[in-house]
């Protein structure tokens, strides 16, 4: 399989033999070099699937011929890519298409835990520069729209030998838009890293996982464990800003995490994110099965000790496992940033911004972010979300802070000279996610509760079923205890089981339509009257602008299968 090249000047397809009934599922989108699975478009452009169905129905009735000879139809071409260029996208999403190949074989890779028939395709594909050029030709950097995305497995973009050329093409399209991606770093040689200096603004997630050669060889299946480690030192040498992921897994020793964090701090990683490992029931391999409730607390306890020893901000994902409060706590500060220079620390509670009280982390950061031109880092492959709230034109901010029993005020200058001369802060000073060097994890917003109330009023519902997740239900309960958002309504909160993926998966954004349907039926089995309305967070459907879950099913199928009114509560995609 290759790519859907979408070449505007593509030549006509060669005649084919007739489509047999047994090959209907294999009908593909025709490209210049080969085929792209239609399944890869189920989440992002379901009209492609509709075209396939219509063609299949037609070919059951007629036999197409050319020159009196039968032809087989096993694919089709999109004639004009401009007709499909209304999809929310970005330069980062375009770069995402470079490769669906990974040169590692991590024991914990969640892509290997997808069930058969999963629409996010795990097919070997490599984008040509022609495809990248066509996507860029139809990309509007002001509207952030372009040709629809193909959903493929997590990739290593630099496996594609034209990756650096593609990056240069992206930068030619827009000189200011942030380019972000995920890489394991093993192919970031000096030529590529040096070239990145001319491609800024750029910020990416380096999935480091470990610096230990044995761990990298046995757990990551990294055949050249020295190269990714060398890449980190190159990024420091050429002052390219990056963050890093570390996945905690039973076969990775805790002291290895300690050594890896020390190395990343030495080389000035902006943030280190410790991901609590999990697996679906489909993940194969000889690894130690575990329960999240048993393994995760041990990781959190160890990370808390590391946080006391290192300056680099260390975050835990999913954050809701360790932080149910929505209060405006600071999770860390970028080394040598204005926040760091002012003496702010992890655990400080922000009470007010510029004299105005704040109730939550999201409210605090929306006021702190100052520059209208600031870039917001967004991991590719997630539908874009508009930034809320007007931004001040100034570059200073006053924070009222509580630390223990002490309350004090600090003044922050986003362009503080000492900070602007320090790497990595000067490279990320304009990014909204690191305004003033503050590192604050996102959370559920009180506005989501108000939107839920609006939906209840709109549907004139009295008895309501709110479906949350194991991780977010404590957060929702904490928020409800602080507000009367649901006053006057009989609201029952339930947590659907992650039946589709199974295993140790407990993340709400991985719930699918069938999980929600099962949760509704389980609630009905408790007895009592049916709810007037079922409320569900929108985040499990955020990967698709068409409101589809990860299996490609629309959220309206919940309503169709249960016979109950269903509404989605707008909320951020938190990977919770």
Domains of the chain by residue range: 21-82, 180-322, 338-438, 446-569
Reported as a pLDDT band with limits 50, 70 and 90, residue 77 is: confident
The architecture CATH gives domain 180-322: Alpha-Beta Barrel (3.20)
pLDDT (mean) for 151-165: 88
220: pLDDT strictly greater than 50: yes
**Where do we find the tokens 């951020």?**
572
Q: Can you give the pLDDT at residue 513?
A: 97
pTM of the model: 0.88
The end-to-end CA distance of the chain, in Å, is 33
Reported as a pLDDT band with limits 50, 70 and 90, residue 392 is: very low
Reported as a pLDDT band with limits 50, 70 and 90, residue 4 is: very low
215: pLDDT strictly greater than 60: yes
Q: What pLDDT digit, counting tens, does each position of 351-371 carry?
A: 999 999 998 998 998 899 863
Superfamily of domain 446-569: Response regulator (3.40.50.2300)
Reported as a pLDDT band with limits 50, 70 and 90, residue 7 is: very low
> Which of 367-376, 419-428, 492-501 is predicted with the least confidence, judged by mean pLDDT?
367-376
> Which of 9-23, 134-148, 552-566 is predicted with the least confidence, judged by mean pLDDT?
9-23
d(CA 24, CA 107): 35
Q: Can you give the pLDDT at residue 33?
A: 46
pLDDT (mean) for 82-94: 93
466: pLDDT strictly greater than 70: yes
20: pLDDT strictly greater than 70: no
Per the structure block, which two tokens stand in for 517? 């349907």
Per the structure block, which two tokens stand in for 18? 């007739």
Per the structure block, which two tokens stand in for 348? 């400080």
66: pLDDT strictly greater than 70: yes
C-alpha distances (whole Å) from 117 to each of 24, 47, 482 are: 15, 19, 44
| Chain centroid to CA 281 | 22
211-218's contacts with Cβ under 8 Å and 24+ in sequence apart are 211/256, 211/259, 211/260, 211/263, 212/256, 212/259, 212/260, 215/252, 215/253, 215/256, 218/251
Per the structure block, which two tokens stand in for 159? 């496996």
How many other CB atoms are there within 10 angstroms of residue 389's CB atom?
11
26: pLDDT strictly greater than 70: no
Q: What pLDDT digit, counting tens, does each position of 225-260 carry?
A: 999 999 999 999 999 999 999 999 999 999 999 999
Of residues 33 and 447, which shows the higher confidence score?
A: 447
> Which of 26-35, 116-125, 239-248, 492-501 is predicted with the least confidence, judged by mean pLDDT?
26-35
Reported as a pLDDT band with limits 50, 70 and 90, residue 155 is: confident
Q: What pLDDT digit, counting tens, does each position of 467-480 carry?
A: 999 999 998 988 88
151: pLDDT strictly greater than 80: no
Reported as a pLDDT band with limits 50, 70 and 90, residue 373 is: very low
Share of the chain above pLDDT 70, in %: 88
3.90.1690, 2.60.40, 2.30.42, 3.40.1580: CATH of 338-438: 2.30.42
Region of residue 490 (left: phi > 0; alpha: psi -120 to 50; beta: else): beta
Which of 33-47, 120-134, 507-521 holds the top average pLDDT?
Answer: 507-521
Reported as a pLDDT band with limits 50, 70 and 90, residue 375 is: low
Share of the chain above pLDDT 90, in %: 66
| Side-chain-facing half-sphere of 476: CA atoms under 13 Å | 24
32: pLDDT strictly greater than 70: no
Mean confidence (pLDDT) of the chain: 87
Q: Can you give the pLDDT at residue 122?
A: 63
């Amino acid at each position: 399989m290759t790519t859907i090249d979408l070449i505007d000047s593509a030549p006509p397809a060669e005649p084919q033999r007739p489509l047999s009934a047994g090959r209907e599922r294999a009908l593909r989108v025709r490209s210049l070099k080969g085929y792209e699975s239609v399944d890869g478009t189920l989440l992002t452009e379901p009209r492609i699937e509709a075209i396939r169905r219509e063609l299949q129905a037609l070919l059951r009735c007629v036999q197409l011929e050319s020159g009196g000879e039968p032809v087989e139809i096993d694919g089709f071409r999109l004639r004009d890519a401009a007709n499909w260029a209304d999809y929310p996208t970005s330069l980062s999403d375009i770069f995402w298409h470079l490769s669906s190949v990974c040169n590692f074989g991590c024991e914990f890779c969640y892509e290997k835990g997808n069930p058969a028939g999963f629409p996010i395709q795990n097919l070997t594909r490599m984008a040509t520069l022609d495809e990248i050029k066509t996507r860029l030709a139809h990309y509007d950097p002001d509207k952030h729209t372009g040709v629809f995305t193909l959903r493929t497995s997590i990739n290593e973009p630099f496996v594609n030998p034209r990756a650096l050329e593609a990056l240069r093409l992206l930068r030619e399209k827009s000189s200011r838009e942030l380019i972000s991606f995920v890489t394991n770093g093993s192919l970031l040689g000096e030529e590529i890293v040096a070239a990145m200096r001319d491609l800024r603004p750029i910020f990416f997630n380096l999935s480091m996982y470990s610096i230990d050669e044995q761990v990298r060889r046995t757990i990551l299946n990294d055949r050249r464990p020295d190269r990714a480690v060398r890449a980190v030192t190159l990024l420091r040498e050429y002052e390219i800003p990056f963050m890093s992921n570390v996945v905690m897994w039973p076969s990775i020793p805790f002291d290895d995490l300690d050594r890896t964090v020390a190395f990343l701090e030495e080389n000035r990683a902006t943030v280190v994110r410790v991901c609590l490992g999990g697996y679906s029931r489909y993940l194969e391999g000889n690894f130690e099965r575990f329960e999240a409730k048993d393994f995760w607390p041990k990781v959190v306890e160890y990370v808390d000790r590391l946080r006391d020893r290192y300056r680099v901000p260390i975050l835990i994902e999913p954050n809701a496992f360790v932080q149910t409060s929505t209060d405006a706590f600071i999770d860390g500060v970028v080394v040598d940033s204005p926040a760091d220079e002012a003496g702010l620390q992890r655990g400080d509670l922000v009470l007010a911004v510029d004299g105005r009280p704040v109730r939550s982390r999201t409210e605090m950061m929306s006021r702190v972010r100052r520059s209208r031109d600031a870039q917001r880092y967004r991991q590719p492959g997630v539908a874009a979300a508009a930034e809320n709230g007007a931004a001040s034109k100034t570059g200073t901010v006053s924070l009222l802070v509580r630390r223990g029993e002490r309350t004090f005020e600090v003044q922050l200058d986003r362009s503080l000279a000492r900070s602007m001369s320090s790497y990595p802060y000067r490279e990320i000073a304009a990014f909204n996610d690191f305004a003033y060097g503050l590192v604050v994890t996102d959370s559920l917003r009180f506005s989501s509760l108000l939107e839920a109330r609006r939906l209840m009023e709109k549907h004139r519902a009295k008895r309501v079923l709110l479906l949350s997740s194991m991780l977010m239900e404590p957060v929702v309960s904490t928020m409800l205890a602080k507000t009367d958002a649901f006053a006057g309504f009989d609201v029952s909160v339930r947590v659907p089981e992650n039946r589709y993926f199974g295993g140790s998966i407990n993340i709400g954004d991985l719930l699918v339509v069938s999980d929600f349907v099962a949760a509704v039926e389980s609630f009905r089995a408790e007895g009592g009257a049916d709810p007037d309305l079922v409320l569900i967070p929108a985040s499990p459907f955020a990967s698709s602008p068409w409101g589809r879950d990860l299996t490609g099913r629309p959220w309206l199928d919940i309503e169709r299968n249960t016979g109950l009114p269903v509404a989605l509560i707008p909320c951020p995609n938190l990977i919770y």
